[in-house]
Amino acid sequence: MPQHPLVADPLAGKRLVLGITGGIAAYKSVELARLLFKAQAASVQAVMTDAATRFIGAATFQAITNQPVFTDAWDTRIANGMAHIDLSREADGILIAPASADFLALLAQGRASDLLSTLCLARDCPLAVAPAMNRQMWAHPATQRNRSQLIADGVAVFGPGTGEQACGEVGDGRMLEPEELLDDLRGWFAPKLLAGKRALVTAGPTFEAIDPVRGLTNRSSGKMGYAVARALSEAGAEVTLVSGPTALAAPRGVRRIGIESAVQMRDAVHAHLPTELFVAVAAVADWRPAQVSVKKIRKIESNSPPELRFVDNPDILAEVAALPNAPYCVGFAAETDDTNNDQRDQALINLASAKRIRKGVPLLVANFGPDTFGSDDNALILVDRAGSIALPHASKDALARTLVAEIAQRMSV
């Protein structure tokens, strides 16, 4: 069976200039630089304003990035004396994090008063900013005018977030957390293969109540479905995620609808149709108790365990696939391994092929459930009418990006 090459992390191999301006949030940028290296960015070049060095030392960024830190427009380490030109020409993108209110004003007005602002004005690559300031400074009309002007000029604005601030006040203006900025950067660099498309994803387990305190569920963590939703958002799709109970945070830029039971999931899915794409990753219970006790079923030693009678749950994927003008539908199948190693993959392909035909969908993604429940990695087999393709063992994020690329290719045909 052919192995499909994986789609790389959008940050892999990227050369970034990380601009740091004056603000207490500068400490977060150290962690962001570390995360960028973990994502295999080719290089991170720190450029600091004088005010930034009052909050954190240049030596800290030099240690994290393994690159000299630039703070002065007259730095003689660049032979031609043009740091503001050379640094941007070598970069795939510039991120200013934190971006103070003063620096946003400089950018909006096209001023070049220090190395970082001059570099941004002379840049030959995309620019993004992560604002960080007091809530009143962020809400000020001048700051909002500057924000609007920057967006009109093609600058990406990441955040800000909401929460407790260093001054003790609470509100808008916090710089996004490093992990959030990393997700935004991935979306910034990722090819927009599904730009303008609406996608609906289901993820996680369902919970079928027996009584007010007990229920039937499964071991799905939701990680694969959330990775698919994240990859779809990176690819430019407008994503709605219908999720069973999980401990996962909603991916950046994704609207999440929380549900518990299969019937609730079905209702939520139909409420958010039509879409161009439906990806059913959730591990939906096939059955539910015919009756749900309104009170806790108590254990009494003299009585035998209660007998439960089950009824079928709706087949959400098959229902959506059968709709007039149905979206492009992708299903998932989690199976168990009941064969020897030589026959393992073929048995999975056979089960997935039958399920694909039964559900009436063009693409079905198969995996071995016990191998992946709760794990951060997986291995997948894509099954369609032309045959099957294996995606090798990798992180669920890498697999999701590769799956989304395959889906985009099929939808464009």
d(C-alpha 285, C-alpha 157), whole Å:
41
**Residue ranges covered by each domain of the chain:** 15-189, 198-412
Question: 15-189 and 198-412: same fold?
Answer: yes
The whole-angstrom separation of Cα 361 and Cα 301 is 49
Instruction: Return the pLDDT at 242.
Output: 98
What's the Cα-to-Cα distance from 107 to each of 135, 155, 285, 403, 409, rounded to whole Å? 20, 10, 53, 39, 39
Residue 197 makes CB contacts below 8 A (sequence gap 6+) with: 236, 237, 238, 275, 276, 277, 411
For the domain covering 198-412, report its CATH number: 3.40.50.10300
Q: What pLDDT, on the 0 to 100 scale, is given for residue 368?
A: 75
The CB density around residue 380, as the number of other CB atoms within 10 Å, is 24
Q: Splitting the chain (413 residues) into consecutive groups of 10 residues, what average pLDDT does each group show?
A: 81 95 94 93 93 94 93 73 72 96 96 93 95 95 97 96 84 93 96 96 96 91 96 97 95 96 97 97 94 85 77 96 96 74 76 92 86 81 92 93 96 78
Give the per-residue pLDDT at 304.
77
Burial zone of 105 (CB within 10 Å; 0-12 exposed, 13-18 middle, 19+ buried)? middle
pLDDT of the residue at 41? 87
* Catalytic one of 120, 125, 167, 329: 167
167 in active site:
yes
CA angle 345, 221, 356 (to 5 degrees): 40
State pLDDT tens for residues 182-238.
999 999 999 999 999 999 999 999 999 999 999 999 889 999 999 999 999 999 999
pLDDT at residue 371 in the model: 66
CATH superfamily of 15-189: Flavin prenyltransferase-like (3.40.50.1950)
Q: Is 204 left (phi over 0), alpha (psi -120 to 50) or beta?
A: left
